[in-house]
Amino acid sequence: MNTVANKILLNCGMLLSAMFPAGLFLLAVGCHTLPQPEDPVEAAKRRGLNWLRAVQNPDGSWPENPVAMTALALSTFLAAGETPGNSPEFDDAIMNGIDYLLFVQSDNGRFSIHDDYDFTHPIATWALWNLCAVTNSPAVHDAAEKALNPILASQRTRGGWGKRMTWYGSEDMAYTDWCLRALRAARMAKFIYDPNPLDAEIRRSNEKLDQSIFRASAALRRLDKLDIDAQPQWNGPTPSTIGRFCDFFTSPSQFYPIMASRAEQYRQFRVEQMLWDCYRRHGDVRHAEWSRKAAKLYVNAQFIMPPGSTSCPCLAVNTNGPCLWIARAADKQGNPCALGHWINGDFFGDRPVMDTCLVLLQLCKPNVFLPLPPEKAPPPPFDPAIFVDIPVDTDL
């Protein structure tokens, strides 16, 4: 038997030797599989998540405006597929961040009193409802419901919001955008996990939420068209998000993300959201073109700390950022690993955390982390900025 087997192996070896050159023979028999190079975008995303974990404060928050940045960081982990209880590498960071948000929420549901940042409350509400979509925690759900009430109560007659949900002053485009994000996240989470959607009280609550979303969507389109920033530190007037969206569809080859200022970075985040919505609803292939360009530019713009490094290249231009707090580029077990983050040109105190989150949210494609049950196919949220033909306006 052994003789027959040896003859078969010898004949197979001679056949393979004849079929393959000598240099390819070992590869052909497959003794070892050569490791595949890591995708540069995936590597950049992993470095970014590692950096977020490394700069987290001991109390579970992120600097510099702790509530808003904690909410952004948590939503970023969710967008990357790192969910509570299912993330061996980042679960501690996620759970500590959740505990911090729940701890600092006021009895009336508000977050704004805990840091000096205009957008704190809607960003925190958005994060809580994102969490509600991936966890059944009663504490998180109760906190999200409490946070939603002030947003609904402060919506103005024309559908928008003033900064800090005040009734004086004009409506603010960016604040309205974040409030609308919070409402949409709430509607999606309620759609997924409402225990009894046919209950009369729940149905009335959802109808009220839908009406609020419709009014906010129309208000955002109206405000967005007027959004022209002309502050000197942002290099003069910059086009509105709708204008930038139109520019892409008229000349996509000229459209690419830049990181010159916080205003630009925020707009790039919103434009990517618009393009992603078009792709999800209509299969528009131009989102793929944007993604390829954006991913390459963002990967090249990342500040990288090699494994075991004790300093970040960003310290040459930003001497007061969170990177000063990192003792060594390592994972949660202390093993050396690469860290990476993004920062735009105006170097505000919270820029590294906010910019890193906004870039990762784009690279991870926001909202795809929501675990939609297969039997439920939710209708796309109504958004006039997507479905209504946008007129060409010289003011854009």
pLDDT, tens digit (0-9, with 9 covering 90-100), for 315-367:
777 666 788 888 888 887 888 999 999 887 665 556 788 889 988 988 886 54
Residue bearing tokens 């967008």: 79
CB 144, CB 128: distance < 8 Å: yes
pLDDT for residue 282 is more than 70: no
pLDDT for residue 232 is more than 60: no
CB 62, CB 115: distance < 8 Å: no
Nearest to 69 by CA among 13, 16, 114: 114
- How high is the pLDDT of residue 114? 62
- pLDDT bin (cut points 50, 70, 90) of residue 46 is very high
Phi, psi (deg, nearest 5) at residue 336: -60, 135
pLDDT for residue 97 is more than 90: yes
Question: When comparing pLDDT for 110 and 243, which is higher?
Answer: 110
- pLDDT bin (cut points 50, 70, 90) of residue 77 is very high
- How high is the pLDDT of residue 21? 41
Pairing of strands 303-305, 339-341: antiparallel
CA distance 254 to 256: 7
CB 290, CB 273: distance < 8 Å: no
Instruction: Retrieve residue 64's tokens.
Output: 């510099």
pLDDT in tens, 156-192: 999 999 888 888 888 888 889 899 999 999 988 887 7
CB 57, CB 329: distance < 8 Å: no
Tell me the mean pLDDT in the region 24-47: 63
CA distance 45 to 360: 6
Looking at 17-26, 40-49, 267-276, 310-319, which range is the least confident one?
A: 17-26
Q: Give bridge partners of residue 268 from the DSSP assignment.
A: none
3-state secondary structure of 339: strand
CA distance 202 to 186: 13
Give the global pTM.
Answer: 0.78
Tell me the mean pLDDT in the region 97-110: 93
pLDDT for residue 226 is more than 70: no
Which H helix or E strand runs over 45? helix 40-54
CA distance 31 to 396: 61
3-state secondary structure of 340: strand
- pLDDT bin (cut points 50, 70, 90) of residue 74 is very high
Instruction: Retrieve residue 1's tokens.
Output: 């038997």
Which H helix or E strand runs over 304? strand 303-305
- How high is the pLDDT of residue 43? 93
Q: Give bridge partners of residue 339 from the DSSP assignment.
A: 305
